[in-house]
Amino acid sequence: MIVGILEDVVAQANTVAGWLEKAGYEALVRHDGDSFIEAVQAQRVAVLLLDWDVPGKSGIEVLRWVRETFAAAQPVIMMTQHDGENDIVFGLNSGADDYLVKPLRERELLARLGAQVRKYYPELQAPKVIRLGRVVLDVGARAAAVDDRPVELSQREFDLATLLFENVGRIVSKDVMSKRIWGAVDRKYDATLATYVSKLRTNLGLRPKNGVVISTVYNFGYRLERSGEE
């Protein structure tokens, strides 16, 4: 899992990167806002850690770009010397999920980071095998079966099925789906998502008569739920 670090003080950036790598994360470090945005656009980054005062686009400007680009699908933690109440409120109201005041403390940073990972990526805590109704998803083996008969799904179809099955009973937004499958939030993927959902309904037998359905939440997302007819 890659964690992006925007920090212009090289020693501080290296320290945080070392903490993350020791905890099992991969660190992506940039020292100015513009190159950080380029890096986040070029690859999938799970969580962003943003300093406020950096060259180029400031941390707050990067935060606003993140929310415009990824909506609510990208976790962001501010880490800055701005410690006034007004600054903290401003950072949170600008879209930060959490706000850390320097000097940073290793255990606190990792705990706050872990909380965002659990919130945004629940699949990391999910069991390797998910069973619901007649369907079994073996997440580790990336294999699906209905009534013990193997079902062939494409990589993206399987990723989407896993996301829905991990969140049974909960609405999953198109933004979250898009971010999981393509690494970015973009309305151009809506039609493709609808096609994948249709294929899952057919291939996995997700119909009312089989006890499990995918419901469409108009203009927002989808929800996998029990139909009551199982």
Domains of the chain, CATH where assigned: 2-120 (3.40.50.2300), 127-226 (1.10.10.10)
Helices (H), 23-138: 33-42, 59-70, 85-93, 106-120
- Per-residue pLDDT, averaged over 52-78, amounts to 94
Tokens of 158: 């399987």
Contact 160, 196 (CB under 8 A): yes
Distance of CA 42 to the CA centre of its chain: 16
pTM exceeds 0.75: no
What's the pLDDT score for residue 95? Answer: 95
Range in 5-14, 44-53, 59-68, 177-186 with the lowest mean pLDDT = 177-186
- DSSP alpha helix (H) spans, 73-125: 85-93, 106-120
| Whole-number Å distance between alpha carbons of 199 and 197 | 5
Q: Is the pLDDT of residue 22 over 80?
A: yes
Share of the chain above pLDDT 90, in %: 69
Poorest-pLDDT segment among 54-68, 86-100, 110-124, 193-207: 110-124
- Tokens standing for residue 11: 């020693």
pLDDT in tens, 112-166: 999 999 889 876 765 678 999 899 999 878 899 999 999 999 989 999 999 999 8
Give pLDDT, residue 180.
82
Which of 107, 68, 101, 67 lies closest to 84, judged by CA? 101
The arithmetic mean of pLDDT across residues 73-98, rounded, is 96
**Does 150 sit behind a cis peptide bond, omega within 30 degrees of 0 on the bond before it?**
no
Residue 52: its pLDDT value, please? Answer: 97
Mean pLDDT of the chain: 91
Q: Give one DSSP letter per residue of 153-195, joined into a string.
A: --HHHHHHHHHHHHTTTSEEEHHHHHHHHHSS--GGGHHHHHH
CA of residue 63 relative to chain centroid, distance:
16
Structure confidence at residue 125 (pLDDT): 66
Q: What is the mean pLDDT of residues 198-219?
A: 90
**What is the pLDDT at residue 230?**
46
Query: Residues 6 or more apart from 33 whose CB is under 8 A from it?
Result: 6, 54, 55, 56, 57, 58, 59, 61, 62
